Amino acid sequence: MPEAPLVAIVDDDSSMREATSNFLQAAGLSTVTFEDASSFLQSARRRSAACLVTDVRMPGITGFELYQKLVASGEAIPTVLMTAYLNDSVRARAREAGMVCCLGKPFAPEELLDCVLNALAGGRQCGGETGEE
């Protein structure tokens, strides 16, 4: 049986990070979690991540800055953005950056799974709240 794709989850909120990880694992995906962007960037596991799920507002490096660093290093990973502060400006910024999906917290777990599966399949860029246009 082939190994499940690895989804990296970066969120400073430990309960959100664990809930996201548990849900995606229950859906058959492998996950690795990080409490901040710096930890993810320093991890050797970042190179094996097939998808990144990250919060926007975190201490230190934000979710947007994290994605920009990956793109600049030539290691862009299909990214799902999560935020409690979703608005048209955040959606537009995510779309312009090339992120796959934007989710406003709280969101239904199924929305997250749809976004992650879309990212893993090389899906379209961020459009509406769930990444659909």
pLDDT tens for each residue of 5-27: 999 999 999 999 999 999 999 99
Domain boundaries, the chain: 6-120
Q: What single-letter DSSP state applies at residue 89?
A: H
Picking from 5, 12, 73, the residue whose alpha carbon sits closest to that of residue 41 is: 73
Picking from 72, 130, 64, the residue whose alpha carbon sits closest to that of residue 100 is: 130
Specify the pTM. 0.90
CATH 1.10.10.60 fits 6-120, yes or no: no
**Predicted pLDDT at 133:** 33
Helix axes 63-72 and 88-97, enclosed angle (nearest 10):
10
Query: Other C-beta atoms within 10 Å of 113: how many?
Result: 16
Query: Other C-beta atoms within 10 Å of 125: how many?
Result: 17
**Predicted pLDDT at 105:** 92
